[in-house]
Amino acid sequence: MDSKIPFEQVVQHHGPTVWRVCRGLLRSQHDAEDAWAETFAAGLKAWPDLPGTTTVEAWLVAVARHKAIDVARGNARRATPSEPGEGRSGGPNCSATSESAEETVLRDVNAELLWAAVHQLPERQRLAVIHHHLGGLPYREVAALVGGTEAAVRRAAADGLRSLRRQRNELMERER
């Protein structure tokens, strides 16, 4: 097991993917941050005993999915007030930029609109888009995670993207 890379490098390399999965599965940025942190806490604990043949990204995405479900279940058991600044899109480990205040607000609004649109997709489409397009998993692995065939997952992802494009185009038409 000494040949494994340090877990810190795993977090740096796979952190953005895990963030996109957590943010895609959970409506609240705060909840996504919790699931992200819990994913890597569980990952750190399991890292020394993880077989060398494991596909780390797929394993982390599966852990993130379970942690996101845990967070959502925890929220269902208690009422949670909405938080100011909930629409922030950066997530853990995102570096600051030299954006103007207007650019930051516009980016956050656009990101929040995208997340809202993703959350409105039917469940199979939403999961296919999140795991394949945001999480980077191959369709075969997404099918194993969510159930069904590779072809069905591919179709669900395509339908989900088509719906997101249609919503974007409708929004752009209204703004003209």
Do 110 and 48 lie in one domain? The reply is no
Phi, psi of 121, rounded to the nearest 5 degrees: -65, 150
Mean pLDDT of the 157-172 span: 88
What is the tally of structural domains in the chain?
2
**Residue whose C-alpha is closest to residue 129's, from 13, 16, 25:** 25
Structure tokens at 80: 């949670």
Domain boundary among 48, 80, 112: 80
Do 19 and 75 lie in one domain? The reply is yes
Residue range 21-50, pLDDT digits in tens: 999 888 888 999 999 999 999 999 999 999
Residue range 75-120, pLDDT digits in tens: 776 654 444 444 444 455 444 455 566 665 556 666 777 788 888 9
Note down the domain range covering 67. 1-80
Angle between helices 56-76 and 29-46 (to 10 degrees): 130
Residue range 138-156, pLDDT digits in tens: 999 999 988 999 999 999 9
